[in-house]
Structure 1
Amino acid sequence: MNSDEILHLAKDTIFTQSNSIKGLASLLTTDFSEVVQQIYFSKGRVIITGIGKSAIIANKIVATLNSTGTPAIFMHAADAIHGDLGSILKDDVVICISKSGNTPEIKVLVPLIKNFKNKLIAITGNVDSYLAKQADFVLNSYVDKEACPINLAPTTSTTAQLVMGDALAVCLLKMRGFSSQDFAKYHPGGSLGKTLYLKVSDITLNNMKPQVTPDADVKEVIVVISQNMLGATAVLENDKIIGIITDGDIRRMLTDNQDFMHLKAKDIMSSSPKTISNSALAVKALELLENNSISQVLVEEDNKYAGVVHLHNLIKEGII
């Protein structure tokens, strides 16, 4: 295959899958809303099972539910009949995923689940299948064809299963009133977690607090900026912020004035600098820096100077 043929096949694969996913909306019935309510009001967990590629999709849906406030566990359909059925508790809701709904493992597993009296939900592309007819609720994930050129490898069908699982997770998330704070609780690691919980105070706690008075001379200003390594200093009067002097302000002063030794901090500072609360999320500080094309922002706590947050701090923390 040449480059054009490869691109054509890739685009055709994407179009095939996207068209099939669009069609899922028309297949939704009241079973879907009843499933959401069944899970929401359940005192137990969601057990999701499947075989082959459907098992892999089941694992992903479990991860999505867990991360959005709905406790879920994965149970492999083959392992279930060799002891894993013991993981099903009386209040659990079971979701079984199978494109055909007629695989041997599913036919063995379904009656065993029914014996436990747990609600059984089928995600299947065949509403006339054994699984569908045995299930309490059926979520139709039918697709016209696989994206695979020989229409055999699970591609579009597994995408449809995943989308159906995502739709369940999103509806449950909404019903639970799941917030960004809740999301942060379940995602404390990495840059994603930090954008949801890291506060400005967590950064200023480890930073110096460069400050000068309005009458500080140029040498003192330069020394304070250099010693604190934040590229700026606050100018304070009666413990109130009245200005900021940055590296850029120093360079402009040197360019504009041949005789600058007589200048004071108040002569070269930028008045009414941008500030942010110590209790604000660090990501808000990033937005402030980006929106105003600046590298530092002064921090306040109870209307008093609390420190400086530099763009490099946010980079170091992985916010960017």
Structure 2
Amino acid sequence: MKATENILQIAKRTLQTELEGVSGLLAKLNNDFCVIIQTILISKGRVIITGVGKSALIAQKIVATLNSTGTPAIFMHAGDAIHGDLGIIQDDDIVICISKSGNTPEIKVLIPLLKLAGNKLIGMVGDLNSFLAHQADLVLDTTVEKEACPLNLTPTSSTTAQIVMGDILAICLLETRGFSRADFARYHPGGSLGKQLYLKVSDLYIHNEKPCISPEASAKEVIIEITKNRLGAVTVIEDQIIKGIITDGDIRRMMEKYESVNGIKAKDIMYDSPRTIESDELAVNALALMRTNNITQLIVVEANIYKGIIHLHDLLREGII
């Protein structure tokens, strides 16, 4: 029991220390921050983010976040930069250098080279008295009072502050740029989130058969049509007007209700208020409608004209669910 209590105490202390480090960023969001956002927005170049050690790992995450939210960014390891990777940087690029101490040997070698090239240099640094802080054109202050590490050595609170500051940058740039849901979908076409924003019903139902039957069709004809098209349903059509839908469930209920299906017609077992969806609706809206009505297929229409059926399996296959 004491061991459990001790573990929980350590966990809560760690979390509290990191929370304090992050909340301390509120007071550090100053005019420099606003200038940095405006500078990046008007820049014709990219954001090059560099660092060493754990700061380099944070830099890679921030680069990924910026790229996915509309700000072109590239990671450059500070150690590799002085061995040829400086060629990554172009004239209009902005460089963000991340360092807790701001005094590492790699940073001290790199910064004069960056200054010589004339690129705007932003320091994300945890010591305002450091070499990086004094040399940078603009500073993002990520100073924390202490690390979560009880030895106050292992970067923990400081790296959390860096990653949060990166998120703040990305979101400010996203909103001030007017980055939209359509933009997000354009940058995330392969993921489920992107598909929810651009994939339409028309992209899916066209790959299915178009099962239909008349209200006067026999029960046997209904079963054959449902089985043949493997969509678990058939649409009942008369004079190009949708009269209803018959599903696998309706067939089972018919078998339970009637001792013989002789003389039973489609109109006797169909559901006459079927759920429909326009073909130009987003596929994610089809999913919502299926969930709301606890069904697995929808009739697809265009201006009330029957076009086909979209099934839950179509959405599963595309990773919408």
TM-score, scaled relative to structure 2:
0.94
Please report how far the alpha carbon of residue 86 of structure 1 lies from its aligned counterpart in structure 2 after TM superposition.
Answer: 1.9
- Counterpart position of 1:295: 296
How many aligned residue pairs are there? 320
Q: How does 1:172-191 map to 2 (within 5 A)?
A: 172-191=173-192
Counterpart CA distance in 2 for 1:32 and 1:316 is 44
1:289-315: CA deviations, max 9, x gaps? 111111111111243111111112211
Q: Deviations over 1:141-187 (max 9, x none)?
A: 11122122222111111111111111111111112221222222222
Q: 1:13 Cα deviation (Å)?
A: 2.2
Q: How does 1:1-320 map to 2 (within 5 A)?
A: 2-320=3-321
CA distance in 2, matches of 1:212, 1:14: 63
**Runs of 5+ unmatched residues, structure 2:** none
Q: Following TM superposition, by how much is the alpha carbon of 1:269 offset from its aligned partner in structure 2, in angstroms?
A: 1.3
Deviation at 1:251, TM superposition (A): 1.6
Tell me the amino acid that sits aligned with residue 189 of structure 1.
G
In the alignment, the residues of structure 2 paired with residue 249 and residue 11 of structure 1 have an alpha-carbon distance, to the nearest angstrom, of 56
247-256 or 219-228, which deviates more: 247-256
Distance 2:30 2:281 in 1: 44
C-alpha distance in 1 between matches for 2:5 and 2:319: 39
From the superposition, tell whether residues 18 and 261 of structure 1 become closer, same or farther in structure 2 (CA, over 3 Å): farther
Cα distance in 1 for residues equivalent to 2:226 and 2:84: 67
Q: CA deviation at 1:281?
A: 1.9
CA separation of 1:216 and 1:63: change in aligned 2, threshold 3 A: same
Question: What one-letter code is carried by the residue in structure 1 that aligns with 2:297?
Answer: Q
Letter in 1 for 2:318: E
Distance of 1:256 and 1:15 partners within structure 2 = 64
Q: Secondary structure at the match of 1:271?
A: coil
Deviation at residue 197 of structure 1 after TM alignment: 2.7
Q: Which amino acid aligns with 1:29?
A: N
Cα distance in 2 for partners of 1:262, 1:7 equals: 71
Alpha-carbon shift at residue 3 of structure 1 (Å): 4.1
Q: Which range moves more in the overlay, 93-102 or 252-261?
A: 252-261
Q: Distance in 2 between matches of 1:280 and 1:156?
A: 45
The 1-side partners of 2:156 and 2:239 are apart by 68
46-55 or 199-208: bigger deviation: 199-208
User: Higher mean Cα deviation, 139-148 or 48-57?
Assistant: 139-148
Which amino acid in 2 is paired with 1:101? Answer: G
Cα distance in 1 between the residues matched to 2:12 and 2:247: 51
Alignment RMSD (CA, Å): 1.7
- Give the Å deviation of 1:256: 2.5
> Which stretch of structure 1 is more off in the superposition, 162-171 or 265-274?
265-274
Task: Please give the alpha-carbon distance, in whole angstroms, between the structure 1 residues aligned to 2:235 and 2:15.
Answer: 54
Question: The residue matched to 1:318 in structure 2 has which SS?
Answer: coil
Q: Distance in 2 between matches of 1:292 and 1:11?
A: 44
Q: Deviations over 1:174-228 (max 9, x none)?
A: 1222122222222222333322332212221211111111111211111111111
Question: Residues of 2 paired with 1:214 and 1:7: CA distance?
Answer: 67
AA of the residue aligned to 1:214? P
Q: Secondary structure at the match of 1:97?
A: strand
2: CA distance between counterparts of 1:171 and 1:67? 14
CA distance in 2, matches of 1:240, 1:139: 65
Deviation at 1:29, TM superposition (A): 0.3
Report deviation, 1:4.
4.1
Of 17-26 and 217-226, the range deviating more from structure 2:
17-26
Task: Give TM-score scaled by structure 1 length.
Answer: 0.95
- For residues 35 and 229 of structure 1, the distance between their equivalents in structure 2, rounded to whole angstroms, comes to 57
Question: Which segments of structure 1 move beyond 4 Å, counting only runs of 4 or more?
Answer: none
Name the amino acid aligned to 1:109: L
